[in-house]
Amino acid sequence: MARKERFALDMGNNTKVRNLDELKEHFNLDKTVDFFRDGTLLTWLEDRYYDDEAEAIAAIPQDADDPRAAICEALDIPFEKDSEKPVFDPEMFHRIAEKKLILARKTDDIEIIKNADKTALTQEDLADLLDLDFPVIYLCGKKFNVPVRVKHKKYIGILGTPEIEIRARSSFELQEPDITFENVLLPWGKAEEAHISDDDEAERNIPRNYIYQDDDTGKTMVVIDGETYEDSIIARKFYKKAKEREIRMNIEAAVKRGEIEMNTIYLSPENGKTYVVANGKIYDDSTLARNYYEQALKNLKSKNKK
């Protein structure tokens, strides 16, 4: 069989790249977007058997309005949300490579090693990742100081259960800034897992509000936001509110992950209740909520026509 000729990607300034390391070192975002649009980037990756990167690039719609962030993520290149250019420099590249080597000594789990660019091994690593605005950050170490002021973050402990220092007294105080944790030890004294992964399936929430019968005492117990109480009228009252809040948070998380559409009428299997999702916001089903939903659909159609 004849050897296949593999073309190089021209990054400009007479610089042609033939592998991922060269692509990252001489990365040109505008050029790469052009190669993505015409399919050249996908062919270049497939020819070199970069299967994971090729699969990630293939999943991005070619007509996406702004595919820059998605392309950078697929190629394992950090991208700052509000910047015209990706944040990438040799020092950062070497640190990512160093973290991959350290993680490889600790585990043979490919997914953990692959996420080295989003993993903090030290507090300094965490600071860098917070500056880069990653929505999910993996923590591999004994202790980390997590800021409350940086909102919309999920922290996942790996290869151990890191101890977290944070200026909050309970999970309640973290709901508004939308900060969640998985497999960590929080300062109020217990390991908390907000979500678990089920192989390649989408994440599913662990119930934090439920009612059960204690096998030893035979008493009915009510769990409210992870805390256990004996059954009573007051406990049931707070349980109902907490369960409703949990369901809404689950729906919001599913919308963010793309499992539920930004604009849809959603029937929750948890309580059989219908919710209206309009522009990613969750409403109780009502005439006003339906109006929001219809208007959101009209705006979306109008935008697509343009």
Give the pLDDT score at 191: 39
| 105 is a domain residue | no
pLDDT for res 208: 73
pLDDT tens for 32-53 read 988 998 889 999 988 888 888 8
Same domain, 121 and 151: yes
pLDDT tens, 231-274? 888 878 888 888 888 888 888 888 888 889 889 999 988 888 99
Residues spanned by the domain of 128? 114-193
- Residue 274: its H or E element: strand 274-278
Of 193, 224, 245, which one is at a domain's C-terminal end?
193
In a domain, 2, yes or no: no
Q: To which residue do tokens 């600790």 refer?
A: 106
Asked if residues 69 and 81 have their Cβ atoms less than 8 Å apart, the reply is: yes
- 108 falls within a domain: no
Residue type, 14: N
Nearest to 278 by CA among 287, 144, 76, 270: 287
- For 77-93, what is the mean pLDDT? 61
100 within 8 A of 116, measured Cβ to Cβ: yes
Q: Can you tell me the mean pLDDT for 219-228?
A: 81
Same domain, yes or no: 180 and 223: no
pTM over 0.75: no
Q: With H, G, I as helix, E, B as strand and everything else as coil, classify residue 180.
A: strand
Backbone φ/ψ region at 180: left (φ over 0), alpha (ψ -120 to 50), beta: beta
Tell me whether residue 76 is in a domain: yes
Where does a domain end: 193, 209, 235?
A: 193
* Same domain membership, residue 150 and residue 132: yes
- Tally of domains within the chain: 4
| CA 157/CA 137 separation, integer angstroms | 9
Note whether residue 109 is domain-resident. Answer: no
Whether residues 39 and 83 fall in one domain = yes
Query: Do 274 and 239 reside in the same domain of the chain?
Result: no
pLDDT for 275: 92
Indicate if 82 and 16 belong to the same structural domain: yes
User: Looking at per-residue confidence, does 304 or 135 come out higher?
Assistant: 135
Q: Give the model confidence (pLDDT) of 144-196 as tens digits.
A: 888 888 888 899 998 888 888 887 776 777 777 888 888 888 876 543 433 33
Which has the closest alpha carbon to 184: 140, 148, 120? 140
Closest to 248 (Cα-Cα) out of 202, 281, 209: 281
**Does some domain include residue 104?**
no
Three-state DSSP state, 195: strand
Confirm whether 44 is domain-assigned.
Answer: yes
Report yes or no on 171 lying in a domain: yes
- List alpha helices for the chain, DSSP H: 20-25, 29-37, 40-47, 51-58, 68-74, 90-106, 110-114, 123-131, 233-256, 287-305
- Can you tell me the distance from the alpha carbon of 253 to that of 175, in angstroms, rounded to the nearest whole number? 12
Residue range 137-141: mean pLDDT, rounded: 91
CA distance 29 to 87: 11
